[in-house]
A = this chain, B = another copy of it.
Amino acid sequence: MHNFTFKNKTEILFGKGQVQEMRSRMPNDKKILFVYGGGSIKKNGIYDDVLKTLEGFDYVEFSGVEPNPTYETLSKAVEIAKTQDIGFILAVGGGSVIDGAKYIAAAAHYDGDGWDILVNGAPVTTALPIGAVLTLPATGSESNGNSVVTKKATSQKRAFGTPVVQPEFAVLDPSYTFSLPTRQISNGVVDAFVHVIEQYLTYSVNAPLQDRFAEGILSTLIEEGPKALANPTDYDTRANVMWSATMALNGLIGQGVPQDWATHMIGHELTALYNLDHAVTLAIVLPPLMYVQQDKKRDKLIQLGERVFGLQMEDKDKLIEETIKQTQNFFEKMGIRTKLSDYELAADEVTKAIDNLKKNGHTALGEHQDITPEIADRILTLAI
């Protein structure tokens, strides 16, 4: 096991009705910026719950944070935070809204253009405190310090991460996910699944507990994901998906072990160019990546097949083949097509994506930094 340093400061308020617990956790001597997205929370009752919780607090609303939140939109909120002396941000939404809130929180305390944080690595030493109400289980953003922001003007999608912007609390009420569109549940489950895979499917460093925690999340998502699609208002199922998605990327399972974020990096280029949903790109990239990297990931692929998919085969090559097939089948079962051709993309589009990968300097991906653009090309070509 490698050395590690781990702390997760977010207080999880999990369960039905927990939104009211926010009252004792928000400052009543400071102005709160209530940030949300496109307004779906007004249709499903979450907005009303939040307003009730905010009664007696001094707050201002900021709506319109889009999926893949943009610098352009967030800059307006930063302006409000700076001019209206905001002291706390309440983010109500999915990963995009919470990622956006993190940018606002950091930029509000930054003397200059906040974009510096994303492109020039300007250090974030202070930020507005954030509270989150999660409406879409997927990214884990509610209890980590990571944020991804896009600058529309230059088509740049950049990330930053620091515990300074990690939410102080996160309300996880499974009933808040009942009204989510099917597509968002599909995406959320697949996103969480791949987050786990990226921290697990590498090589062994003799860290059996991390392995078993990762396998526990994968097994739970495989079991509960299809149920979440079939029975949208089954509370326990949604609770299990929600808790799994948070545990998938709150830092815990990745401590002391190698990681491989190649699927995410290659997928990002497909989203940037062809506007595919983030989770869709992961479902497209992961199976051929497993196939191409199978020698490097051999032991873990076998372990995944045996422990998570319950496969027992003498012929380990066949077992690996079947493990990859079952992974792909799971994505399809979650309602996500896994081939580029399903989205009318082919060799030309692959070439463009690989060109961008090079342009962005992502020329050595994976846990061994051996996924060159040529190998990424092979992966995407297999995905056609």
Q: What's the minimum C-beta distance from A243 to chain B, rounded to whole angstroms?
A: 6
Q: Tell me the count of chain A residues lying within 8 A, CB to CB, of chain B.
A: 41
Known: A14-B256, A15-B1, A256-B14. A240 touches B6 (CB 8 A): no
In the bound assembly, the distance between CA atoms of A7 and B14 in angstroms comes to 11
Would B1 and A7 count as touching, CB distance under 8 A?
no
Would B212 and A215 count as touching, CB distance under 8 A?
yes
A207 contacts chain B at the CB level, 8 A cutoff? yes
In the bound assembly, the distance between CA atoms of A243 and B21 in angstroms comes to 32
Binary B-proximity of A251-267 (CB < 8 A = 1, otherwise 0): 01001100000000000
Residues of B within 8 A of A4 (CB): 12, 14-15
Please report which residues of chain A, range 1-41, place their CB below 8 angstroms from some CB of chain B when the two chains form the complex. Answer: 1-18, 21
Please report which residues of chain A, range 199-226, place their CB below 8 angstroms from some CB of chain B when the two chains form the complex. Answer: 206-209, 212-213, 215-217, 219-220, 223-224
Query: Which residue on B lies nearest to A246, using beta carbons?
Result: B209
A239 contacts chain B at the CB level, 8 A cutoff? yes
Residues of B within 8 A of A12 (CB): 4-7, 255
A244 contacts chain B at the CB level, 8 A cutoff? yes
A332 contacts chain B at the CB level, 8 A cutoff? no
Please report which residues of chain A, range 133-172, place their CB below 8 angstroms from some CB of chain B when the two chains form the complex. Answer: none
Residues of B within 8 A of A106 (CB): none
Query: Which residue on B lies nearest to A168, using beta carbons?
Result: B7
Q: What's the minimum C-beta distance from A197 to chain B, rounded to whole angstroms?
A: 16
Closest 6 CB pairs of A and B: A3-B15, A212-B216, A7-B11, A206-B236, A6-B12, A1-B239
A-B residue pairs in contact (CB < 8 Å), sample of 16: A1-B236, A1-B239, A1-B240, A4-B14, A5-B13, A5-B18, A6-B11, A6-B14, A14-B256, A206-B236, A206-B239, A208-B220, A209-B216, A213-B213, A216-B216, A239-B256
Known pairs A4-B14, A212-B219, A239-B256 / 10 extra A-B pairs, C-beta < 8 Å: A1-B15, A1-B236, A1-B239, A2-B15, A4-B12, A5-B14, A6-B12, A208-B223, A212-B216, A212-B220
